[in-house]
Amino acid sequence: MSFKKSLFAALMIASPALSQQDLIGFDLSSFGKTILSNNQAAGGDIMLEAAFGSYNNEFIATYSPKSVFAKMGRAVGRLDVATDAGVFPCTAFLVDDDLLMTNHHCVPGILDHERAGATAIVGVQFVAGYLQEGIEEGSERFLVNPIPVETSKTLDYTLLRILGSKPGKQYGTLALAGLDPDDNAPFWIIGHPMGEAQRISREKCRANAPALSKDRVLHTCDTLPGNSGSPVIDAGTQQVIALHHAGSARNSINYAVPMTAILRNSTVLKSASPIVAPTAAKPDRDTQADRALARLFGLQDDTALKAGLGELITDFPGTPAARSAQLRLDRLQSSQKVASDRAQLAKANEALLAALVLTDTDAQRRALEEMLRTYGDTPAAAAARATLLTLTRPKTADPVAQPKPIPKTAPTPTSTAKATAAPRPAKPANAPMIETTTIAARLYAPGSVLKAYGHSIYDTPSTKARVVNRSTGSLVLGEHVFENWYKVQDRTREYVQVRSGLKILVSATSDAATPPSKTTTAPMIETTTIAARLYAPGSVLKAYGHSIYDTPSTKARVVNRSTGSTVLGEHVFENWYKVQGRTREYVQVRSGLKILVSAKTEPPSTPKTVTARTYTAGTVVQIGSRPVRKKPISYEPPASSVHHRVKIGSHVMGDWYTIFGDSNRFVELPPGLTILSGDN
């Protein structure tokens, strides 16, 4: 009979949460045959459980006869129960030479099932060796006494005696386990689902977690009608751990009777010699460490976690778990340090603000000194020191070469003060000015402490630059850059744009109102090498969209673009400059760009290069071995090399020279080499 036909013949009976498995009826004429008849019996719609999910049983004949599956399957056979209502196949297995175990609901419980309609059992036979569907060869049938040797309806098991033969001597028997299964333990189930040739369920076949519930073993092995009475075999011990008997259509789980419960109830059966449980052996050192680490990661308290990680590292040094624990401990300590530093900064800012609002000078001085003793290494300490300087500075007038243009009674210029103040020195029209009226922004003296919340701090003086920080209460201004842009005091590459009218917590005296006179345009270095106008290093140029390269060449890789202003660093050659404060960043600037901030420098009387030319053209210098490159770049792959001595061509830039007679090959020569011939 085909599997699909028999499956179609088995109809589901509506049941509560739990139902005994798997009775399917065939015509009585099938009794005494290995291959059951296609004709279904009158009671053939009896099916006490359906399969759940995809069906993954395999014919056991697909495995080698020497495989453990085939060897254990020899003791398992089909049990045909012939009644006056038809033949109902189950599964049974040999537990002794002539003793079988199956479900009570197969024999004699079939007579109690109303829909089966059976009133008498007319015969029982055990079919062994039926391995290939539709092939009788190799199978053998044995008559069975239908009167049980021992049975229990509660535990749903029955022991039956085989008549006139001892097939256990030929086919072997299965050992019964005296231990309950572990959660998620791997299982095998061997049986005759749908009355067909022997099959094994092992894919996704395992104990549930928990494995035991209400005196039943829960498992996920695929079964079908005909699997009633199948042995549930522990894959580790290869012993029968339970007797499959039922399933739940609602919970999609199958059930088996624990063999420990059957053994306790039976006066006939004996368990196999207990096998030492794997947990009895002491796990190896790595396993112990892994288990200890897994327990620690469940802790919520950081203090307990740190202590536990430290103990694990001490107890299991060199194990993978100890290395993982060290990494976790380092991250935990780092995060705690960051949190502690943030809390320290917040407390320092609070202490500074509390001191600044004091009106009594002595009390303010004491508060600031206490703040410095407690939080001396925080950024707020710089503002506290600046405030202390103003409190301790003598009240006599500062000695200056020229009188202040603004009266001492007016710290900030007003329209009235301007009328009475001494006239300012004349300045060129385009000279940069540091005064309170520049572009309608009120500029503050460097060193002033402003009350500023949430001001963005950029890595260049441009609102299009990257925001690297934000002010969180007070802000100590550094050097003025241009317009209303300042550096942040004691910070490199941090700039802030401040608006007028901010509250000054600490004033800093400054000659901001009397800036030095500056020329109309920034000092420039004229050169005759190209028609470009070179700018003094330190100049801030208004430059939008200028490409910034990793080497001074337009064919090099573009690493950035200017977004408003560019601060020039050291001049390299022609119209190429380094970007100030950046390593390996170069920009090519054209002449005539607007200079936002001029750099103080005296223009040289003669053209200059980035470095003095150590060697002149035609000089022969002694070397060991030097790589020759196609570009004056140190990480350019060498094209060749020169040895012992080299004759220099023209100077390119820095320590780079061409080789005499070949303007396309470059060599890097540091100063101080021995000159063999030529002028220098």
pLDDT of residue 464: 75
Return phi, psi of residue 343, to 5°. Answer: -65, -40
pLDDT of residue 632: 80
Q: Specify the amino acid at residue 457.
A: I
pLDDT of residue 256: 94
Q: Specify the amino acid at residue 91.
A: T
DSSP state at residue 639:
E
Determine which helix (DSSP H) or strand (DSSP E) holds 656, and give its type and residue range: strand 656-659
Domains in the chain and their CATH numbers? 28-36+46-265 (2.40.10.120), 282-389 (no CATH), 435-507 (2.30.30), 524-598 (no CATH), 619-677 (2.30.30)
pLDDT of residue 292: 85
SS (H, E, C) 413-443: CCHHHHHHCCCCCCCCCCCCCCCCCHHHCCC
| CA–CA dist 149, 158 (Å, integer) | 8
Question: At CA 134, angle to CA 130 and CA 137, rounded to 5?
Answer: 50
**CA 379 distance to own-chain centroid:** 34
Burial class (CB in 10 A: 0-12, 13-18, 19+), 660: middle
Residue of 12, 32, 323, 68 whose CA lies nearest to 186: 68
pLDDT of residue 635: 66
| CA–CA dist 73, 200 (Å, integer) | 8
Q: Specify the amino acid at residue 355.
A: A
Q: Helix crossing, 285-296 with 302-315: angle to 10°?
A: 170
pLDDT of residue 670: 82
Write down the residue that tokens 């920080």 correspond to.
469
In 178-273, which ranges are continuous DSSP H helix?
Answer: 259-265
**71-111 confidence digits (pLDDT tens):** 999 999 999 999 998 899 999 999 999 999 999 999 999 99
pLDDT of residue 238: 93
* Residues in the chain, overall count: 680
Burial per residue of 122-159, b for 16 or more beta-carbon CB atoms within 10 angstroms, e otherwise: eebbbbbbbbbeeeeeebbbbebebebbbbbeebbbbb
pLDDT of residue 53: 46
| CA–CA dist 422, 403 (Å, integer) | 8
| CA–CA dist 279, 300 (Å, integer) | 28
Low-confidence ranges of the chain (pLDDT < 70): 1-23, 38-55, 248-251, 273-282, 297-298, 392-443, 482, 508-534, 573, 599-613, 634-635, 678-680
For 116-119, the CB contacts below 8 A with 24+ separation are 116/23, 116/25, 116/43, 116/46, 116/83, 116/85, 116/88, 117/42, 117/43, 117/85, 118/43, 118/83, 118/84, 118/85, 118/86, 118/88, 119/83, 119/84, 119/85
pLDDT of residue 612: 40
| CA–CA dist 434, 598 (Å, integer) | 12
Q: Do 100 and 93 contact (CB within 8 A), yes or no?
A: yes
Radius of gyration of the chain (CA): 47
